[in-house]
Structure 1
Amino acid sequence: MTSKPATHQPSVLVVDDEAPLVRLIAEYLRRDGLHVETTDNGPDAVEMVPAIQPAVVILDLGLPGMDGVEACRQIRTFSDCYVIMLTARADEVDRLIGLSVGADDYVTKPFSPRELERV
């Protein structure tokens, strides 16, 4: 776990178990001047949010340890950061579930990193 950065850069927490995708997203966001933290599982994400106080959490639905729906539900009990669900699940019911537990936006894979930057 890391602490909030000393700089005034906005922080983003990227939560996905696909390491190449995490590296790609992190690289794009860092180029935009953002501080990026990453994890590959739900329990660590829930623990990291109060520590780093991210402005945005990019959260996959299919995570080990705790799925993204439950992670989002728990994060919403103590944080109002912007949550973007990033997932391969494109069905309307999955989108509605993600939004109903507190996600602010829902982006389906595959996607363009530029698309994610604009959300």
Structure 2
Amino acid sequence: MVLGQRIRALRKALGLTQAQLAESLDYEPMTISRFERGEYSPGFDALHQLAKALGVSLASLLQFEAKEPLGAGELRHQLCDIIYETEDPKVLMGMLKAIRKAKGDG
């Protein structure tokens, strides 16, 4: 299930639908859905293709717990996940203000 959540998070961070990701890999959209829900486990070749399509290394795709500080790319993915899951404009505005303040942009 954790791998499926990771696939979903990376896909969403790229702004891809399951159908778009599936098409890029020559899979059926239902296959991507099943990977994400943990119903199917992708084999090694599929994992390699998924990592490439999602723009991460295979090791990064399989990394479930960060043992070292996260890099900028991974942090961006996590921020994007949170932002895409947030529907409230007031919350989004608060996030934007906090980021600008942290960067020193006001």
Higher relative contact order (CA 8 A, sep 6+): 2
Greater Rg, structure 1 or structure 2? Answer: 2
Q: Point out the structure with the larger strand share.
A: 1
Q: For the superposition of Structure 1 and Structure 2, which TM-score range results when normalised by the shorter chain?
A: under 0.3
Q: What TM-score do you get using the length of structure 1 for normalisation?
A: 0.25
